[in-house]
Structure 1
């Protein structure tokens, strides 16, 4: 196990403690530990300590450069060691990226849950004391694309789904500098272990038989087998698409939609 010897600047720590600024104490401690760790990594790379003369020396020291690191308690500045040949690379930032990823995922989760980019930027500023632009948050959400695409195209032939619920909802979407209404087709299944699973979703302009057929054909291309029963509302286009794409599957009208249809024809009293 690597052993580190820290030369702590007690004046900085004492000043932070006296000022009762616990964040400053944590930041100063992290900076000292990480700087010392990178120094040790450079020694191991050079195979020689500072001012040590040895025939096994690999290279020579070449000062430091500063690099910022954003933590949940704020931004810190580290002194990253360099070598003359430039082939030394510290593992600190690579290792921290795994921890930093949790912070990034928290930001992405806020976006998924409907928090605006402006609010996400304000939250990050309050947590870290460092303001991030709305464009940075927007760029960050692009990291969701490969995750969503992998989920949306996952194979469905690994399990049989005897019951499928099909429904559509309308959402507002910004398209070509204007807000329009679009239909989102959603298929939810119940597997043989009685667990619910969203099979997929698709955005289209309107709810029609042709659009539902394209959605069902996409699910079938991923390996979906014809279920025993499909539950949906009584939309004519949806019923027609089910009859064409899932021959032999039984259809049942959704009782929730049926009750809502009845209520719309009842007196408000």
Structure 2
């Protein structure tokens, strides 16, 4: 599959992850939302939770829980309460659709390219939140990075064996260091014996080559991909050879 124009990888992968791994996306989305709420409440209080500071103007006082319905399912949102006055995240609950779209896009982008403080900072700014400190944003990025890394390196044994696998490459133009370059995203989706479908792996490379596909499939096999009977792909020679080399016996 080739994209003839510049596309947003976060949007593309966000749709793929939402379709094939709704539990993952719901969990990551909930983590990002609750982290943002906690960090913004700290900013309203003038100091971080549990930290003494002469700049503190208020204190946290537990949470009130609220269900947030999203396209990925219902998320338990923990809204911080304050001892004096109140805190309400209008950027999330009053502008729900715009906030949800931005959050899903950044979660997918973090999965695809890794998490950085700068990327999380841009997310916060896109939602109209300007009161968070760099250290708060950095901690949010670190927490999310750990979850993303755990998913990308997770064992595939528990959910497998995956009887059917689909593999494809998406060619897109991305901006890097002030210039536009071509990048290729390799994606594999699997279906197990129970009919459960999920994204098995995703990686970015400079070109769709036999070597790139070999490394990609070797990683999937090392993480436990087995029992594959049928692989659906295009006729790219490098992809076909990598399938034969790493998944012998699969049609």
Q: What TM-score range do you get, normalising by the shorter chain? A: 0.5 to 0.7
Q: Secondary structure at the match of 1:197?
A: strand
Given that 1:121 and 1:137 are in contact with CA atoms closer than 8 Å, whether structure 2 keeps it comes out as: no
Q: Which runs of 5+ in 1 are unaligned?
A: 1-68, 84-91, 251-269
Asked if 1:147 corresponds to 2:147, the answer is yes
CA distance in 1, matches of 2:185, 2:104: 21
SS in 2 for 1:211: helix
Superposition map of 1:1-269 within 5 A = 70-71=40-41, 75-76=44-45, 99=78, 108-109=103-104, 111-112=106-107, 120-125=124-129, 131-132=131-132, 140-158=140-158, 159-250=160-251
Greater mean alpha carbon deviation, residues 146-155 or residues 108-117:
108-117
Deviation at 1:168, TM superposition (A): 0.7
User: Any stretches of 5+ residues in structure 2 without a counterpart?
Assistant: 1-38, 53-58, 64-76, 81-88, 93-98, 110-118
Q: Deviation per CA, 1:60-80: give whole Å up to 9, x if none.
A: xxxxxxxxx8449x92469x9
Q: CA RMSD in A?
A: 4.3
Contact 2:161 2:192 in 1 (8 A): yes
Shift of 1:178: 2.6
Q: TM-score, normalised by structure 2?
A: 0.53
Bigger Rg, structure 1 or 2: 1
C-alpha displacement of 1:209: 1.0
TM-score by length of 1: 0.50
Kindly indicate whether the alpha-carbon contact (under 8 Å) linking 1:172 and 1:182 is maintained by their aligned counterparts in 2: yes
- In 1: Cα distance, 2:227 partner to 2:238 partner: 19
For 2:191 and 2:135, locate their aligned partners in 1 and report how far apart those are by CA, in whole Å.
40
**Residue 249 to residue 181, structure 1, CA distance change in 2 (3 Å):** same
- Rounded to whole Å, the distance in 1 between the matches of 2:250 and 2:146 is 33
**Using CA pairs below 8 Å that are at least 6 residues apart, which structure has the higher relative contact order?**
2
Inter-partner Cα distance in structure 2 for 1:211 and 1:242 = 12
Aligned length: 168
CA deviations over 1:222-256 (Å, ceiling 9, x no partner): 11114010000111111111112111110xxxxxx
- 1: distance between equivalents of 2:189 and 2:134? 34
